[in-house]
Every structure is written in C-alpha cells, then in structure tokens.
C-alpha cells in the first residue's frame, strides 16, 4: 500500500471499513456523524462525506435520507461470496477459440433464454436518439464524410470523449484518444503495441473469455492472477508472480470485472500502479462496464489515478448504449503513436458516419439521463436474478455481489460440472456461460456466469429457476 | 504455362498477341475476320469474339463499329513504359511506418492539389443512394440491429456479395464471405491466418505502401518479386525466388495493381496458381480496383480461376463507392474458419447498420450504373493526366498504362530524387506519392505515383504541369 499517495478521504474510508470488518461497527448500527468525524480527525466535512460515499459505493454503508449513514445489513438469506481465486502461478498458452465460438453461437440464438451473452437487450437500450443522429448525419453529411477518416478517428467524437473523462478527474486530451471498433479492437491494438507473440500477459482469474481468445490469436500466454470476488486483483500475489515470471503487460478491469463484478479499491489501484511502475510493466485497463455503477460515484479508472504515463485505457459504448455501432476507444499518452500506427496498418480507419452520430449524440447531453436509467434497470435486474438464484440453486452455491455491470458469477459446491449443465440447459432452451471459458487453464468448471442484460420477465425468472433446478438435480445425483 | 488448363479463347488470344508482338500484324492493320479465324481454327464464332474482346481489354486490338477489329496504334507521342522491376532477390524487414504516416497526413490536407492519396473524390462518388439507405436503416431498424452482429458479418450483405461474384464465373457461397473493415483489415486477417511473425511474404515490386506497413506491424518480411508494368508479376522469376527463399504467402493484386496498374493475363494467373499449388504457398489477392476496368470485361480474379482452394480473396467498396463506410470482405473456403476466428478475436464484429445499408443498396441494382459512370470518369481522368504528364515532365520520363484504377506510375530518368521533389511540391501546394514508399528495400526513389481520383479540373491540370516543371528543373540542375 502506498499510503503516502492515498487521499485523506480514502484513509478515512479504510479506517471505517476496518471498524466494520472487525465488528466495532455492527451491521445496522449508525455510523459516527459526519460532523463528529470531521472534528475528531481535523478534516473538512466534505472529506468525511466523500469517505462515506465511497463506503456507500462499496456497499459497506447505507445512506438514509434525513438520518445519516448506517452500516449495511447483510441481505437476509444471502448466499456466500465465491472464494478468492488461487490459479496456478505459471503462464499458460491459451486454446479456447473453439469453446468461445460455440458459446457465442448459442448466445446469439434468440430462441434461448438469454443468460449467456454479456450484452444488453436492444429494446432496453433505447438507442433511438443515436439512430436518428446517424440518419441525420447520413442524409445531411454523407458526401462530406465519404472519405478515409483520420486513423485516430473523428475529431468531434474524440473531443466529446475527452470532455467526459474530466468527470473522472482525468485531464484527457483529444489527441490521446484513438477511436476503435469496439473495446475488442482497443484491447488488440493495446496488446500488440506493448507485447509480442510468445509474451506473457497477466490477467484476472477468472477473466473475460474474449480477452483469452485475443491472447490465443496473438500467440500470447496468460498468467492468471489471484482475484477476490469483490476486491479484485490481489496486489501482493501479483507482486510475487512478477518475481518469478516475465510479464510483458497486465490487462485488468477498471471496475465491475467480467465475470466477477469485482472492483479494486483506490488504495489497491494505487498500490498496483506503483508496483507496475517499479517493474516497468505497462497496464492495459478495460473500463467497458464503468458507466454502469450502482453506487453514487463512478469508480475512477487506473488512468485517472496514474495520469496515463504507462496505462492504456480501453472502453466502448457497447455495454451502455450501442453494441451494434462498434464504437470504442483507447486513451493513452505514451503509447498513442504505437496504437495509431497499428490502427492504420490493421484497418486504416473506422467508418466515419457512426462516429459523427456518436459525437452529435454525446454533445446533446442525453447520454447521462440514459445512463441513469440503465443503471437502475441493471441494478434491479441483478437483484431479481440474485433472488431467483437463492431460491433455486443448490445449497452451498456462492454468488458474486457486483456493484455495477450486469453479470453474476456463481460457484457451485464441488463436484459440479457446468459443461454438463450447459448441454442440458440448451435442451431446456436456456443459454448461460460455463465457467471454464473464463480461464486459460480451464479452471472454474464448477462455476458459471449469468447475464442480466435483458429486460426482466417471467421468461428470465423461469429460466434462472429452471437452471437452478437442473443444477440441483446434478448435485443430487 | 499450363496450356492444358487454359481456355481455347485464351490460346487464340495469345496467338494473336504474339503475331502483333512479332510484327506479323502491324499497328493499325485489320485483324483477321472473326468468321475466318473461326473456320481456320475450327472454333465457334463466340470463342473468337471472346479472344478478340480479351485482346481489346488488353489494349492490343481496337473494335470499330461495323468494321471489325484492328491492331491498336501506339498513342502519338506516347511516353515509354517503365522498366520491368528487378528488386533484390532477398526478403527485407520493413521499416516504412513513419514515411507512410507522413504521406497520409499530407495526402489528407485539402489545401494541396490531391495527387497523393489513391482515393476517389467524395463528390465524384455520389454516394447519396447509399447514404439514404443508411438513414433508412437507422430510422427503421436501429433497435433491431443494436446487437453484436455475427463475426462474419450481415447475412444479407454476404449474399449480395456472393451473387455479384457469379459474374466472374465464381460460384461463391455466402458462407465463405467474411465482412471486414475495408480491404486493409481483410489483408491483415488473411495474413495472420496463414503466416506468423518473422515469416516472408512475396509481394509485387513496386507494391502498395499500406501492405508494406501492415507487414511491418505484423513483423513479417517482404520479398519483392520482379513485376512488369503491364503484365504484372514475372511467374518464372517468382519460381526461382521460391527455390531460394521460404515464403509463407503471396499477396498480389487481382488486376490494376497499385501503383503500376498492371494486370496478369489469365494464362499467367493459371501458371502462378499452379506454381503456388506445387509449392503449397497460399495466395492472398487484393481486388480492390477490380470493378474499375476500362475494357469491356472485368479481369477475372485468381479465386475465380482456382476455385478458392488456397486463395484468400480480399476486396472492398472503398475505391468504387464508399471509402467512408469501411466495408470490405474476404472470400475464402479453406481458410474461412481461421479468418472468422481472428475477426472475432481482433474486433468481435463490424458495425451492423452500414452493412445493412450496403446490402439494401446492392439489392437495388443501382451499383452497376454507378460503376459504369466511375469507369468512364477515371478512364478520362487518366487520359488527361497522361497528356499533362507528356507535356510537362522531363524528356525520357516513362509512364504506366493502366487499363483500370486511377493511378499513374512515373519513372524519371536517373539520377532523380522524388523525395526532394516531394518536399518542393508541398511548398507549391501539391501532394503526390514519392516512389520509395512502394518498396520494402526503398527502391524507386526516381519514381512517383500520381492519383487521378479527383474530378479533373484546371487545378488538377495545372498541378500536374507544375509538378512536371519542378521535375524538369531538378533534372536540368
């Protein structure tokens, strides 16, 4: 931990979190008043408020209007958290393409209950304003934009993206933004900018299977890092791994990791950045779920804490507004030239009109209202899904507690074979993601991921419950 | 030559071409009548007509209405053809990214006379129907398509592309088509499907600098193959190179190569295919200029002659209709799975609405009328540019004779430094492409490429003439 670089409010938040953890503050108890803490610690009221809101975002405190902050109650009958992962401490070559292709094929089958693919339902996304911006751009400016655009992308869109980054306390220059074909191309460009075939890349464990597939196709190896289901990557464990393995880059989630939903604390993020800086290992961060936070504050990505010196930030609008538009971006200062060179050599530039439409849509200011609606929807969906899981899955099932995004990670009591459940579920018209595709070494066969990206409905409810019954039947056999 | 696999009309065409070459048929002379040849050779009238039309397309015969076929006259005062290239017979590592980025930056500067970038002018392309199709798709089907599409692309567009391939005598299945982000991504996916970092790729010499840049970024080496300015790659020379160098793949133009404008005869294409089949070297062909043919017939790409067994066909709509849309495609049977895997891992899928708009536009049938107009425009542009070059460049300047596309390749009498001319031309407000970016070993410094993709105007005319004067001044120094 680099306490000297942590903000005062973070130290305060950590202190209160520890008091809750060691029982000094019991579940349901009122937290010390903001004014009292302010006086005791000689800090401003706003610093205490910031600390409490951080704790609210972490699910440790709950704010009650006109009453103050209380220690959160554990939800009644809640399932336990999945275990922190302990993957093997060696890099693995990846061979997952076939499994991923098969999963994506089933996940796009609209006759199945859609628990498989981590994509929001098109009807939920209400992309009409964006679509109309595209229609307008095509009608009014089709000829003007029927040219090869700049490799780094439309200047207007890069400006809008830089403007939004200010809210994260990050002074991003439009010149440091490169527009990509979704976050997938962003990650690919980032990886090829800092690593080569045969290199080892450190990743969360479990991690997004698409990342593993990209590593496989680039001939890179994956080193899985122990990861906690809510706190994210174990920095001390990563430090030990870096002692024994040559790592060319880390690819980590900024927050609400897929599939765990974990988010590192700012203190841990700073410690991780300091570690990587010492070892001169570049960090690639994937912030594709960042806008879908259920707490008040959007967790700050690594680049906002680090300033972009050796961090390559990757994101897209695919999880929050428009998976069909394939608009993502990279933000990086040091590596921008390498990234742009690769963008130019690998696909020249992206299509112009969708970028122009996005710039127009973002400038209109309607994105924030849209995001507020999406957050409420997904928070609600996850709560309903959690209850359906509790009511139907085998006793001893553990489940993640994402504070953002829209996926749940389930760990079933061993022995359990989520591959066998997958085949059976398909026959019952249900798709989900079996656990082994989230690991290069094909761990997590007793785990699975459920997506709550579709509007909650009787079909979704019944799908989860039936899946739970099928899992129970397998457990009882 | 694989005479046994050549069609009868091709043998006939080759025979007449040889008679013209050895003087048996003089420039301006009437060719033997179709009926006479039919009787003499015991072939049908239509076979003779096909042979004569092939020769017309190759610029060897000229048809005169109601009169028959005549041997083409050399244009009066014509400049000589550039020499066939003789690059060094060893693979080179490529280091061209900086020069390419600088060129593209200048080429996109709209205040310069646009002789630099091989892209048609947006106003010439008249993409309005396509733009309206996009606007319609966005308005009417935005929500429906706001999903991750299939990695191989929109089924409707793949069907339209397959349908058009029928005209080339190639029975392409929509399942063998993968939609890409322009031809650049197509080439990148093709290369990474059949070759790895460190491998050697055989290319034309000179060749498109974007291809060299892609090879550089993939860490692949370029082996430059001797290439004739009208007849294309020297198959015998390639055969000798394959004896001494391990080549992982060939990347060649289907026709109207960039920058030479060369097109291999069908007989040579068959010979090349037979050679590569014997050596088990996959062929990647770039047919991006194929639709812009000035002769009656569109030259058949390799895949139509070979059946797609070990050929990966790459193309796009960027040179003929919509550079801003970034819609390209790959056609391949054997390598389709590898290509799709990479598409999925590197960018997941392309944006859906532009693909839907293209499918709609192609189904409407208006593309063919559009192409006829574009062909006339570019043919005319090139003729005007040729005359301006003849009138202004130094004595002894040689110039290519493209039968399609919209670029000219100029070879100036040595010593000549097109880099120095480039810097000087920029000061005079003119952009063009200096020759050395078309070679991995940075040959062709005495050459340059001019693009006639913009509407011909006094500014274009004067730009070419001023460039010629600047070149003469350098030659006279």
A267-281: pLDDT as tens digits:
999 999 999 999 999
User: Of residues B369 and B169, which shows the higher confidence score?
Assistant: B369
> Which of the 8 DSSP states describes residue A92?
B
Give the mean pLDDT of B379-384: 94
B321: left (phi over 0), alpha (psi -120 to 50) or beta: alpha
Domain B126-367 has CATH 3.40.640.10: yes
Query: Chain A residues with CB inside 8 Å of B184's CB?
Result: 345-348
Helix (H, G, I), strand (E, B) or coil at A292: coil
Element (H, E) at A425: helix A418-427
With the CA atoms of B209, B211, B213 and B214 taken in that order, what torsion angle do they form, in degrees rounded to the nearest 10? Answer: 170
Residue A79, pLDDT score: 85
Residue A307, pLDDT score: 75
Query: Chain A residues with CB inside 8 Å of B100's CB?
Result: 344
> Cα separation of A7 and B420, whole Å?
56
Instruction: Give the distance between the most distant pair of CA atoms in chain B.
Output: 67
Give the mean pLDDT of B220-244: 96
pLDDT band at A4 (very low <50, low <70, confident <90, very high): very low
Residue A6, pLDDT score: 61
Helices (H) then strands (E): counts for chain A? 17, 16
Give the mean pLDDT of A450-476: 96
Are A341 and B148 within 8 A, CB to CB? no
Residue A63, pLDDT score: 84
Residue A18 has pLDDT above 90, yes or no: no
Angle at A288 between CA A284 and CA A292, to 5 degrees: 140
Give the mean pLDDT of A107-134: 95
> Cα separation of B327 and B323, whole Å?
8
B389-437: pLDDT as tens digits:
999 999 999 999 999 999 999 999 999 999 999 999 999 999 999 999 9
Q: What is the DSSP string of A199-251?
A: -EEEEEES--HHHHHHHHHHT-EEEEEEEETTTEE-HHHHHHHHHHS--SEEE
> Cα separation of B41 and A72, whole Å?
96
pLDDT band at A2 (very low <50, low <70, confident <90, very high): very low
Give the mean pLDDT of B340-359: 97
Helix (H, G, I), strand (E, B) or coil at B429: coil
Q: For A63-77, A84-98, B111-125, which range has the lowest pLDDT when averaged over its residues?
A: A63-77
Q: Which residues pair with A180 in a beta bridge?
A: A328
Name the residue with tokens 């975002």.
Answer: A57
CATH architecture of B372-476: Alpha-Beta Complex (3.90)
Core vs surface per residue B207-231: b (16+ CB within 10 A) or e? bbbbbbbbbbbbebbbbbbbbbbbb
Core vs surface per residue B400-439: b (16+ CB within 10 A) or e? bbbbbbbbbbbbbeeebbbeebbebbeeeebbbbbbbbbb
CB B394 within 8 A of CB B412: yes
Q: Across all residues in chain A, what is the average pLDDT?
A: 92
> Cα separation of B145 and B136, whole Å?
13
Residue A167, pLDDT score: 83
> Which of the 8 DSSP states describes residue B74?
P
B35-61: pLDDT as tens digits:
888 988 889 999 999 999 888 877 788
**Do the domains B372-476 and B3-71 match in fold?**
no
B168-217: pLDDT as tens digits:
878 899 999 999 999 999 999 999 999 999 999 999 999 999 999 999 99
Residue B384, pLDDT score: 94
Q: For A150-164, B19-33, B171-185, which range has the lowest pLDDT when averaged over its residues?
A: B19-33
Q: Which among B347, B354, B440, B453 is the top mutation candidate for probing chain A, defined by the most A β-carbons within 10 Å of its own β-carbon?
A: B347
> Cα separation of B304 and B313, whole Å?
10
Are A143 and B149 within 8 A, CB to CB? no
Instruction: Give the distance between the most distant pair of CA atoms in chain A.
Output: 67
CATH node for A371-476 = 3.90.1150.10
Residue closest to B206 by CA, chosen among B184, B221, B228, B185: B228
Residue A36 has pLDDT above 90, yes or no: no
Residue A299 has pLDDT above 60, yes or no: yes
Give the mean pLDDT of A401-416: 95
Give the mean pLDDT of B1-14: 66
> Which of the 8 DSSP states describes residue B388?
H
Residues of A (107-136) whose Cβ lies below 8 Å from B = 108, 117, 119, 122-123, 125-128, 130-132, 134-136
Q: Is B102 on the interface with A (CB under 8 A)?
A: no
Cα A438 to its chain centre, rounded Å, is 14
Cα B397 to its chain centre, rounded Å, is 23
Residue B375 has pLDDT above 60, yes or no: yes
> Cα separation of B252 and A62, whole Å?
65
> Cα separation of B257 and B246, whole Å?
24
Domain locations in chain B as residue ranges = 3-71, 126-367, 372-476
Q: For A52-66, A154-168, A198-212, A448-462, which range has the lowest pLDDT when averaged over its residues?
A: A52-66
Residue closest to B227 by CA, chosen among B235, B215, B216, B218: B235
Q: Where are the beta strands (DSSP E) in A257-343?
A: 283-286, 311-316, 328-331
Residue A74, pLDDT score: 59
> Cα separation of A336 and A324, whole Å?
26
Please report, rounded to a whole number, the percentage of residues in chain A having pLDDT higher than 70.
97
Q: Is A318 on the interface with B (CB under 8 A)?
A: yes
Give the mean pLDDT of B365-387: 95
User: Of residues B16 and A191, which shows the higher confidence score?
Assistant: A191
Query: Chain B residues with CB inside 8 Å of A219's CB?
Result: 196-197
Give the mean pLDDT of A402-417: 96
Residue B4, pLDDT score: 40
Give the mean pLDDT of A380-390: 94
Residue B74, pLDDT score: 59
Residue closest to A16 by CA, chosen among A69, A67, A65, A73: A69
Residues of B (144-173) whose Cβ lies below 8 Å from A = 144-151
Q: Which among B100, B129, B131 is the top mutation candidate for probing chain A, defined by the most A β-carbons within 10 Å of its own β-carbon?
A: B131
CATH architecture of A3-71: Orthogonal Bundle (1.10)
If one counts every other C-beta atom within 10 angstroms of the C-beta of residue A461, the result is: 17
pLDDT band at B123 (very low <50, low <70, confident <90, very high): very high
Residue A443 has pLDDT above 50, yes or no: yes
> Cα separation of A421 and A433, whole Å?
10
The structure tokens listed for B128 are: 């309005």
Q: What are phi and psi of B412, to 5 degrees?
A: -100, 155
Q: Where are the beta strands (DSSP E) in B189-322?
A: 200-205, 221-228, 232-233, 249-253, 283-286, 311-316
Helix (H, G, I), strand (E, B) or coil at B449: strand
Are A184 and B323 within 8 A, CB to CB? no
pLDDT band at B477 (very low <50, low <70, confident <90, very high): confident
């Amino acid at each position: 931990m680099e306490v000297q670089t942590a903000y005062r409010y973070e130290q305060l938040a950590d202190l209160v979190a520890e008091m809750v953890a060691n029982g000094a503050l019991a579940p349901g108890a009122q937290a010390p008043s903001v004014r009292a803490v302010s006086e005791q610690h000689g800090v401003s009221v706003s610093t205490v408020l910031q600390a409490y809101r951080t704790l609210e975002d972490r699910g440790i405190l709950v704010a009650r209007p006109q009453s103050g902050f209380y220690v959160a109650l554990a939800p009644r009958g809640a399932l336990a958290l999945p275990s922190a992962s302990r993957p093997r401490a060696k890099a693995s070559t990846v061979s997952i393409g076939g499994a991923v292709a098969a999963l994506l094929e089933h996940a796009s089958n609209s006759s199945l209950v859609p628990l498989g693919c981590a994509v929001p339902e098109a009807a939920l996304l209400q992309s009409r304003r964006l679509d109309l911006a595209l229609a307008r751009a095509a009608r009014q400016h089709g000829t003007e934009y029927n040219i090869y655009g700049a490799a780094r992308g439309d200047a207007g869109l890069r400006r809008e993206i830089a403007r939004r980054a200010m809210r994260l306390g990050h002074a991003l220059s439009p010149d440091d933004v490169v527009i990509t074909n979704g976050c997938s191309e962003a990650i690919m460009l980032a990886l090829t900018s800092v690593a080569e075939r045969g290199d080892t890349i450190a990743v969360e464990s479990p991690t997004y299977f698409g990342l593993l597939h990209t590593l496989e196709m680039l001939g890179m190896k994956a080193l899985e890092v122990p990861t906690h289901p809510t706190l994210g990557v174990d920095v001390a464990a990563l430090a030990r791994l870096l002692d024994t393995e040559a790592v060319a880059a880390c690819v980590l989630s900024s927050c609400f990791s897929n599939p765990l939903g974990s988010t590192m604390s700012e203190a841990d993020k700073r410690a991780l950045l300091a570690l990587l800086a010492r070892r001169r290992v570049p960090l690639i961060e994937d912030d594709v779920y960042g806008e879908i936070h259920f707490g008040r504050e959007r967790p700050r990505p690594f680049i906002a804490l680090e300033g972009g010196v050796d961090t390559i930030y990757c994101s897209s609008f695919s999880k929050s507004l428009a998976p069909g538009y394939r608009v993502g971006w990279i933000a990086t200062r040091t590596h921008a030239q390498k990234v742009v060179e690769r963008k130019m050599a690998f696909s020249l530039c992206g299509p112009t009109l969708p970028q122009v439409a996005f710039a127009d849509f973002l400038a209109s200011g309607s994105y924030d209202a849209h995001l507020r609606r999406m957050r409420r929807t997904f928070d609600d969906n996850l709560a309903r899904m959690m209850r359906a899981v509790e009511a139907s899955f085998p006793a001893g099932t553990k489940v993640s507690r994402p504070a953002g995004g829209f996926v749940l990670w389930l760990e079933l009591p061993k022995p359990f074979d989520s591959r066998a459940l997958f085949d059976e579920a398909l026959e019952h018209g249900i798709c989900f993601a079996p656990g082994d595709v989230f690991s290069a070494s094909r761990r997590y066969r007793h785990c699975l991921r459920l997506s709550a990206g579709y509007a909650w409905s009787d079909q979704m409810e019944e799908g989860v419950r039936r899946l739970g019954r099928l899992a129970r039947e397998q457990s009882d056999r």
